Chains A and B, each alone.
Chain A
């Protein structure tokens, strides 16, 4: 009799813990932050791939290509900085 009751109370505690654990998975970073981070990562990867292509072939219009690449890199760095500033303001409040 008492054994069953003790087992029942332990089951209730485990149920409470499981529900709490499920609630904890619902917290954390919002989806949009993860999307932005993923997009920035993808752009950085594309830039690196393009740099590799430029270095690999010794074309005639290398200077022009290189110039475009540098412009894109500068644009990317600016976007990254803006994103970092926004995150600092939200998460650290300064």
Chain B
């Protein structure tokens, strides 16, 4: 029905997000011409998308088997990937001594919420098995993925405007 069609559209939009992230990274990198907080965040975002698409077939096979430990293999590896991504953003910032921009904060907040959603869904599966959170899981992850794109554009344009004002002054 209409709802299912909407969901299919949603899914196909989500498949495009990794491409949009890569294009955004290229555009911002060519405009700024240096490693900044924004480019680091986008680079990690692209990296995690690439890793996810590499891991997805194996993990799907693993998760289709019965047993809680296989379910944990699915959820746990996504959570570990997200934690590694936040850690990478943090390490890049510390190593290059750059100030965290709003874009980097938004990306890391998105990773935190992914991790939290996955943990909640796994705990639900391990204990109550109500399946209510499975729906939230399926809807919220594409929503965050798509919602990140306008957020990144907005924060970056605002920072860029500030930077040009700063350069005009001196």
Measuring CB to CB, which residues of chain A are less than 8 angstroms from any residue of chain B?
A: 1-2, 5-6, 8-10, 12-13, 15-17, 19-20, 22-24, 26-28, 30, 86, 89-91, 93
Contact = CB atoms under 8 A, between A and B. Distances in A.
B108 A19 contact: yes
Given A8-B76, A26-B93, 15 more contacts: A5-B72, A9-B75, A9-B123, A12-B83, A12-B115, A13-B116, A13-B119, A15-B83, A16-B86, A16-B116, A19-B86, A27-B101, A27-B104, A90-B162, A91-B162
* Chain A interface mostly: helix
Most B C-beta atoms less than 10 A away, residue of A2, A8, A10: A2
Contacts of B69: 1, 5
Interface of B: 68-69, 72, 75-76, 79-80, 82-83, 86-87, 89-90, 93-94, 99-102, 104-105, 108-109, 111-112, 115-116, 118-119, 122-123, 126-127, 161-162, 165-166, 169
A19 B161 CA distance: 28
